[in-house]
Amino acid sequence: MVQTKKRLLYFCLFFLLYEMAVYLSNDMIMPAMPQVVREFHSSSHAIGLSLSLYILGGSTLQIFLGPVADRIGKRKVMLAGNALFLAATLLVPFAQTITQFLAIRFSQGMGSCFIFIGYAAVHELLDDERAVKMTSLMGNTTVFAPLIGPVIGSAVITVMDWRAVFGIAFALGAVAWVGLFRTMPGPAAAPSAGAPSAVQVSPAARPGLAASYRAIFTNRTFMFGIFTAACAIAPLTAWIGLSPAIVLQRMGASYGTYIAWQCAIFCGFVCSTLAIQRLGEGFSLVRLLRQGGALALAGMAGAALLHRQGHLFVLCMFVYSAGFGLFNGALIRIALTSTGISMSLTSSAMSLLYCLYLAGGLELYNAVCARFDYALGAYALMNAPLGVFLFLALRRIAGRAASSAPSAPSALPVADTA
């Protein structure tokens, strides 16, 4: 048992490293994107488009990976995905035009398709409380990368060509592949007590695959939960993609200011995630949703009202980021476990929708901000109505979760396909 727990811990660590490599490959290049578009004689619109295509690449294989993972095992699929990411990362520095650069970035983004495999494995192997704590901790990579990525990227491009950042991403991804090869549990790994039992799709059951996906995509709790989760992370993702144009180009700020703003905004997520790790047993997912939603609304409204004062804008975005960190793990957990279908299929459907919603939202942010020459006010004012929606949506999801299991504060809602 001790050996099993130790191997599971090492698997989580190497999976975190792979996830970090995937996200860093994007976040390290963002400070250099003004240089990239100048070198390739392109416009600022390509800065946001690079991130949009990267995210779209992360949606291309999702619908197929779930069934494949159920058939041949998550371990083989995870290792293949890591290898695909490494191959694409090697190609990026050889781009000769902006079109080639964007096309290879799309291919590189396909490596993120496989991240959900690791999350599915965690949700299958752990119970509710450990899964939420672990996914909240793992979710820090999506925020930790924007914290250190611009710092590393800015440092690299001051002494080397922007292509060097992809060498760093490749090295991290290679170490992660070796670690996952040695530690990722195979199909025979036993789940923890209280963990949801996975529904495996055997060859004989393959004719029911369409019905399984139909059940997932018609589940109201799942669909609304994933849409809400994508809307919640859209402002932070848009900030990652557009802040080089907003802060470095439009505002004419230094790399130091750009890095300081990134760190201040995303530290909110880190703080709330660390707070979740300190919660005792029996904590309430419903409470996390409601408190996180209230913080998100306060942060978004404040950022919209105070965008003319840069430091106050950053402080309000810190509050939003903290609220997001509180509710995100609980929201994903409720959505994933609401269907009663294989975790691999449910996770692949989640990742597909998540990437599509996120890419669409980012392009909307990009179009509006481009219309107003990437002014900070255009970005900030777009967030205000989104904050209201998130507050109301999270209260609705929390209310349904509470009514589904009134006697267990951390219990999850049952499948809802009506």
- CATH number of the domain residue 9 falls in: 1.20.1250.20
Total number of domains constituting the chain: 1
Name the pLDDT band for 280 (thresholds 50, 70, 90): low
Mean predicted confidence (pLDDT) in 24-47 = 87
Count Cβ atoms within 10 A of the Cβ of residue 418 and give its class: 0-12 exposed, 13-18 middle, 19 or more buried: exposed
pLDDT at 3: 53
Would 372 be classed as within a structural domain?
yes
Question: Is 395 a residue whose pLDDT tops 80?
Answer: yes
CA distance 146 to 36: 19
Structural domain for 44, as ranges: 2-185+210-404
**Which of 146-150, 323-327, 373-377 is the least confident region?**
146-150
Residue 417 within a domain: no
Q: Note the pLDDT of residue 123.
A: 67
Cβ-count burial 42-58 (b if 16+ within 10 Å, e if not): bebbbbbbbbbbbbbbb
H runs (alpha helix) in 28-114: 33-39, 45-57, 62-72, 74-91, 98-109
In a domain, 190, yes or no: no
Instruction: Say which range, 49-63, 142-156, 235-249, has the weakest mean pLDDT.
Output: 142-156
Which residues lie below 8 Å from residue 382, measured CB to CB, with a gap of 6+? 235, 365, 368
The torsion angles phi and psi of 71, rounded to 5 degrees, stand at -85, -45
125-154: average pLDDT:
68
Q: Domain for residue 171, yes or no?
A: yes
List C-alpha distances in Å: 411 to 176, 284, 311. 34, 8, 40
Per the structure block, which two tokens stand in for 363?
């392009």
> Has residue 413 been placed in a domain?
no
User: Quick check: is 352 in a domain?
Assistant: yes
Residue 418 lies in a domain: no
The one-character DSSP state at 201 is -
Would 258 be classed as within a structural domain?
yes
